[in-house]
């Protein structure tokens, strides 16, 4: 089996590549080749014998580049490449070029292949397709009314994916990822950065700033759960989905207070005491416009599984960091 991963250098893309290489098979077939593509060449390590990994840098908005990747006729395509919400909002043209035209080139390249070719295409969408006002628990039948260009681009990609699938050109699944917590690494400028920061920094002995109220509720999943969603989307029986190929992934709906209590339970009072409250009206306003809770029934019925609880998410992060620290020594 040949696998193409678009966006393989990102956090989830790296973890997906690692998981595929560690497993060696997907849907019962031996993985023979992985094309790992991103705007910078992905750094792929621990490649077992017999697997050809081609790490390549390029522009997904370039039609010829995408056509050349698809011409290798991968059996499985993961499309994770995107510029993030903040950048798509700041640079309107770049957002549409990368986040929308990239998908259009990909779908057209697949449709343009000669002979019988209908690969599985797993696309990472986002809960940013939803915009306030919401239902209390957003159902699978709630409208996509995004309030960002990023969310608009993801919603358009979902529509295209369902239509190309319905016409038989591709076998697509779009999975709407919750906010990923705990992201490893450094804080960034995303308004959502603190959701990871208030766990990651205290565990690393550092102070973390909490800019919103303790009662703020959000929809989260661990990096490991995200990889699990991708692998399940790649191997599931898509006939179960019918023509609606976009699914809200099952996350955990947790408040900041619940997150802090989980941190206290796992790591103790001293660690939980490293969170400093510093309300920020701008961030509070942004976060107030985000979805808080979902009834992700279709995904659950299709066999996608959420994290067990927030304590498990913290423990998995601690274990991952220990592996990382070991690997870097």
The verdict on 172 binding a second copy (CB under 8 A) reads: no
From the list 30-38, 135-143, 202-210, 273-281, the region that binds a second copy by CB under 8 A is 135-143
CA atoms 184, 188, 190, 193: torsion sign: positive
The verdict on 293 binding a second copy (CB under 8 A) reads: no
Q: Which of the residues 96, 117, 150, 164 is marked catalytic?
A: 150
From the list 60-68, 144-152, 183-191, 274-282, the region that binds a second copy by CB under 8 A is 144-152
Q: Report the residue from 99, 152, 192, 222 that binds a second copy according to the rule CB under 8 A.
A: 152
Q: Report the residue from 29, 135, 207, 301 that binds a second copy according to the rule CB under 8 A.
A: 135
Nearer to a second copy, 164 or 195 (CB): 164
Long-range contact pairs involving 266-271 (C-beta distance under 8 Å, separation at least 24): 266/311, 266/314, 266/315, 266/318, 267/202, 267/203, 267/314, 267/318, 271/202, 271/203
CA atoms 34, 17, 119, 85: torsion sign: negative
DSSP 260-301: HHHHHHHH-HHHHTTEEE---HHHHHHHHTS---B--HHHHH
Least CB distance to a second copy at residue 72 (A): 24
Nearer to a second copy, 244 or 315 (CB): 244
Distance from C-alpha of 99 to C-alpha of 82, rounded to nearest angstrom:
5
Q: By CB under 8 A, what part of segment 227-246 binds a second copy?
A: 243-244
What the block records as the tokens of 175 is 């999975």
The verdict on 163 binding a second copy (CB under 8 A) reads: yes
The verdict on 162 binding a second copy (CB under 8 A) reads: yes
The verdict on 131 binding a second copy (CB under 8 A) reads: yes
Residue 150 among the catalytic residues: yes
The verdict on 147 binding a second copy (CB under 8 A) reads: yes
Nearer to a second copy, 34 or 121 (CB): 121
Distance from C-alpha of 178 to C-alpha of 250, rounded to nearest angstrom:
8
The verdict on 127 binding a second copy (CB under 8 A) reads: no
Structure-token match 């059996």, residue found: 75
Q: By CB under 8 A, what part of segment 54-113 binds a second copy?
A: 92
Distance from C-alpha of 120 to C-alpha of 221, rounded to nearest angstrom:
24
Distance from C-alpha of 17 to C-alpha of 8, rounded to nearest angstrom:
7
Q: Which residues bind a second copy (CB under 8 A)?
A: 92, 131, 135, 140-147, 149, 152, 155-156, 159-160, 162-163, 166-167, 243-244
């Amino acid at each position: 089996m040949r696998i193409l991963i678009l966006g393989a250098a990102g956090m989830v893309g790296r973890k997906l590549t690692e998981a595929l290489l560690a497993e060696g098979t997907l849907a019962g077939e031996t993985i023979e080749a992985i094309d790992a593509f991103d705007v910078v060449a992905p750094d792929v390590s621990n490649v077992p014998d017999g697997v050809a990994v081609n790490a390549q840098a390029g522009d997904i908005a370039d039609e010829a580049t995408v056509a050349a990747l698809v011409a290798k006729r991968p059996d499985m395509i993961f499309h994770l490449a995107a510029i993030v919400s903040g950048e798509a909002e700041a640079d309107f043209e770049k957002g549409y070029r990368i986040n929308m035209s990239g998908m259009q080139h990909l779908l057209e390249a697949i449709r343009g292949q000669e002979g019988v070719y209908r690969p599985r295409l797993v696309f990472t969408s986002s809960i940013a397709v939803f915009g306030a006002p919401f239902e209390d628990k957003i159902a699978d039948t709630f409208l996509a009314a995004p309030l960002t260009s990023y969310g608009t681009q993801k919603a358009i990609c979902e529509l295209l994916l369902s239509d190309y699938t319905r016409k038989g050109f591709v076998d697509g699944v779009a999975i709407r990822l919750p906010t990923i917590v705990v992201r490893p690494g450094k804080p960034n400028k995303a308004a959502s950065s603190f959701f990871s920061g208030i766990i990651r920094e205290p565990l690393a002995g550092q102070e973390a700033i909490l800019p919103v109220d303790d009662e703020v509720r959000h929809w989260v999943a661990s990096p490991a759960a995200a990889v699990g969603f991708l692998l399940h989307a790649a191997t599931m029986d898509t006939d179960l989905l019918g023509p609606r190929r976009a699914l809200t992934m099952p996350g955990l709906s947790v408040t900041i207070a619940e997150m802090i209590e989980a941190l206290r339970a796992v790591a103790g009072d001293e660690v939980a005491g490293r969170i400093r409250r510093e309300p920020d009206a701008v961030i509070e306003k942004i976060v107030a416009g985000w979805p808080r809770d979902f009834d992700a029934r279709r995904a659950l019925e299709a066999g996608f599984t959420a994290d067990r609880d927030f304590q498990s998410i913290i423990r998995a992060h601690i274990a991952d960091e220990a592996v990382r620290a070991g690997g870097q020594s």
